Amino acid sequence: MAIKSTIFKADIQITDMDRNYYEDHQLTIARHPSENDERMMVRLLAFALNANESLQFSKGLSEESEPDIWQKSLSDEIEVWIDLGQADEKRIRKACGRSRQVMIYTYQHSSALAWWQQHRNKLERFDNLSVFNLSDEAVRAIGKMAERSMRLQCTIADGQLLFSDGETAVEITPEKWKSAAGQV
């Protein structure tokens, strides 16, 4: 019998001064049995960085052909594709062909850096791809915030985040390794 996903609930208040986006989201997160707290919280962080009314978690690890997070148009076209970790070049090529905008959030710095150095030249050709790296310290700190029921605040200004659960606040500055064409 297969192990089922664990359900987490997160009420997250997002104040994104960079995009003038101020909303509260009530999210249900299914943590795949192979996913740890840190990866799940990185998903939540990536959601907060790109939040809007159409952004949603996909089946993620349960469905290989879907990203971790996506935004679809009313005609079911993928507008934003967000993956976590170190995707292979074939998956990224497919994502860039299917979506208007693709973002990858890497973590586990030493292996992510080796992945980036190996794939950088091939990935530079994708104009709709952005790649970010999150520091190990930040990922560990937000991983400790994981609870079955969470109340979180995320404030974004000048590309920096303050991620808080009311008791602990973590400052995070994603390191931009590649920007999509037309983005700074």
Q: Let me know if residue 36 belongs to a domain.
A: yes
Task: Name the pTM for this structure.
Answer: 0.92
Q: Tell me if 104 sits within 8 A of 84, measured CB to CB.
A: yes
Q: Tell me if 132 sits within 8 A of 174, measured CB to CB.
A: yes
Domain of residue 53: give its range. Answer: 6-178
Q: Let me know if residue 24 belongs to a domain.
A: yes
DSSP the chain: -PPPPEEEEEEEEEEETTTTEEEEEEEEEEE-TT--HHHHHHHHHHHHHH--TTEEE--GGG-TTS-SEEEE-TTS-EEEEEEES---HHHHHHHHHH-SEEEEEE-SHHHHHHHHHHHHHHHTT-TTEEEEE--HHHHHHHHTT--SEEEEEEEEETTEEEEE-SS-EEEE--EEEE--TT--
Q: Which two tokens stand for residue 44?
A: 């939540």
For the chain, the residue count is 184
CATH of the domain at 147: 3.10.640.10
Q: Let me know if residue 183 belongs to a domain.
A: no
Separation between Cα atoms, residue 82 and residue 90, nearest integer Å: 15
pLDDT band at residue 184 under the 50/70/90 scheme? low
Task: Give the distance from CA 60 to its chain's centroid.
Answer: 11
Write out pLDDT tens, residues 66-118: 899 999 999 989 999 999 999 999 999 999 999 999 999 999 989 999 999 99
Q: Let me know if residue 75 belongs to a domain.
A: yes
**pLDDT at position 66, please?**
86
Q: Tell me if 49 sits within 8 A of 161, measured CB to CB.
A: yes
Tell me how many domains the chain contains: 1
Write out pLDDT tens, residues 127-167: 999 999 999 999 999 999 999 999 999 999 999 999 999 99
Q: Which residues of 90-106 are buried (b: 16+ CB within 10 A; e: fewer)?
A: eebbebbeebebbbbbb
